[in-house]
């Protein structure tokens, strides 16, 4: 009944967490990307102002929300050609990603491609649909059976790697030639530290044509709204309409107050800039401390994580950190190719980050 699902990754590091928690000055938990900073007042005020609505909201979401999302993608990331029919609000993007293969009718036994080192929910979503998972980064290196869906993640969780517009365009061109849907997880698009990151919906990638493309966007990271479960899908209007039909039948509805808060988060850019700078400062501190401790930082051009290695297997490295009261995520969470790395998050308070820096040095 569990569709052959793997163990839940964080259940496997309970021992390391207990060891880190035994540190005299307490644990520094850098294993997850959970925001710790306050929700901006402009968002909290909007949440309160939307709290009196007593009826059922629509699965489609309010027109105001859909227009705010389309406008934000254009303003923040240069995406063109979107309108309110190109947007579908979702109850957190993890739920959306896990359900996409099933909701879009991926046949049992069909191939779904995910990155070689990948957020585990891509695999889970494919398995829930009864699909076969293929890990591949090279364009077209997808095995004997052409995939019906390709997950892309740039900037990457966990590695922080950023795919160029040319590489993304190559994936889109291949997918269109082979009748595959591209699902681009862009939850970290607003957190590029070195160079620039592109949406799959950007005209430099897709030529302004969103056919066969879905971009996944979350407000958890840049707006500290993980607890609100606020996100949305954007792209191909036909795919959005297909998903809307399924989600209406299933009653997948974003609560009305959350929709009001999301409008504020998508309309205001000042809080996004302020949060980026908090993460930038923490990143600089942790990067320096890791380097001083003999670690190499690979990729990590964007996102909320540092992808670090000293050549040890990831569980050995995780234990090394736990002995110093620091909990990190072992790279094997994300696939066999991640086994020599650990993922260190930037999502801890300034005080806890400073504590981690002192312990590493």
Query: For residue 275, is pLDDT > 60?
Result: yes
Query: For residue 6, is pLDDT > 80?
Result: no
Query: For residue 60, is pLDDT > 70?
Result: yes
Task: Write out the residue limits of the CATH 3.90.1150.10 domain(s) in the chain.
Answer: 9-38+271-360
In this prediction, residue 83 has a pLDDT band, given cuts at 50, 70 and 90, of very high
Task: Write out the residue limits of the CATH 3.40.640.10 domain(s) in the chain.
Answer: 42-268
**Other Cβ atoms closer than 10 A to 42:** 15
Burial of 94 (0-12, 13-18, 19+ CB in 10 A): buried
**Domain 42-268 adopts which CATH fold?**
3.40.640
pLDDT at 2: 54
What does the chain come to in residues?
A: 361
Q: Which residues contact 85 (CB under 8 A, 6 or more apart)?
A: 66, 237, 240, 241
CATH number for domain 9-38+271-360, candidates 3.90.1150.10, 3.40.640.10, 3.40.50.970, 3.50.50.60: 3.90.1150.10
pLDDT at 204: 97
Q: Using an 8 Å Cβ cutoff, are 46 and 263 in contact?
A: yes
| Residue-averaged pLDDT of the chain | 95
Query: For residue 29, is pLDDT > 80?
Result: yes
| 8-17, 50-59, 118-127, 231-240: segment of lowest average pLDDT | 8-17
pLDDT at 143: 80
> Average of pLDDT values for 304-315?
96
- The structure's pTM equals 0.94
Q: Using an 8 Å Cβ cutoff, are 171 and 207 in contact?
A: no
For the record, the structure tokens of 117 come out as 């080192």
pLDDT at 3: 57
pLDDT at 7: 74
Query: For residue 350, is pLDDT > 80?
Result: yes
What is the percent of the chain with per-residue pLDDT over 90, rounded to a whole number? 93
Q: Computed from CA positions of residues 87, 91, 95, 99, in that sequence, does the dihedral angle turn out positive or negative?
A: negative
pLDDT at 66: 98
């Amino acid at each position: 009944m569990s569709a052959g699902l793997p163990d839940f990754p964080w259940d496997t590091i309970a021992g390391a967490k207990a060891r880190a928690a035994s540190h005299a000055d307490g644990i520094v938990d850098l294993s997850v990307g959970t925001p710790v900073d306050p929700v901006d007042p402009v968002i909290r005020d909007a949440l309160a102002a939307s709290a009196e609505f007593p009826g059922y909201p629509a699965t489609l979401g309010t027109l105001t929300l859909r227009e705010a999302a389309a406008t934000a993608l254009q303003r923040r990331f240069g995406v063109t050609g979107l309108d309110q029919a190109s947007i579908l609000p979702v109850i957190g993007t993890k739920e959306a990603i896990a359900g996409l293969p099933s909701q879009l009718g991926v046949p049992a036994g069909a191939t779904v491609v995910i990155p070689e080192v990948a957020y585990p929910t891509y695999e889970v979503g494919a398995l829930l649909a009864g699909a076969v998972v293929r890990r591949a980064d090279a364009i077209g290196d997808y095995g004997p059976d052409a995939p019906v869906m390709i997950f892309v993640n740039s900037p990457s969780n966990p590695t922080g790697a950023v795919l160029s517009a040319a590489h993304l365009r190559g994936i889109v061109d291949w997918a269109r030639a082979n009748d595959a849907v591209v699902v681009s997880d862009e939850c970290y698009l607003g957190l590029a530290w070195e160079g620039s990151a592109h949406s799959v919906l950007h005209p430099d990638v897709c030529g302004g044509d969103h056919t066969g493309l879905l971009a996944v966007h979350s407000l958890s990271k840049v707006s500290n709204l993980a607890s609100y479960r606020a996100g949305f899908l954007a792209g191909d209007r036909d795919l959005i309409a297909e998903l809307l039909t399924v989600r209406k039948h299933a009653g997948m509805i974003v609560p009305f107050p959350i929709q009001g808060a999301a409008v504020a988060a998508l309309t205001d850019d000042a809080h996004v800039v302020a949060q980026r700078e908090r993460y930038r400062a923490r990143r600089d501190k942790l990067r320096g401390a890791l380097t001083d401790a003999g670690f190499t930082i690979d990729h990590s051009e964007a996102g909320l994580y540092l992808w670090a290695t000293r050549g040890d297997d990831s569980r050995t490295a995780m234990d090394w950190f736990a002995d110093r009261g620091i909990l990190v995520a072992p790279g094997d969470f994300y696939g066999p190719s991640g086994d020599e790395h650990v993922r260190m998050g930037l999502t801890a308070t300034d005080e806890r980050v400073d504590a981690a820096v002192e312990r590493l040095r």
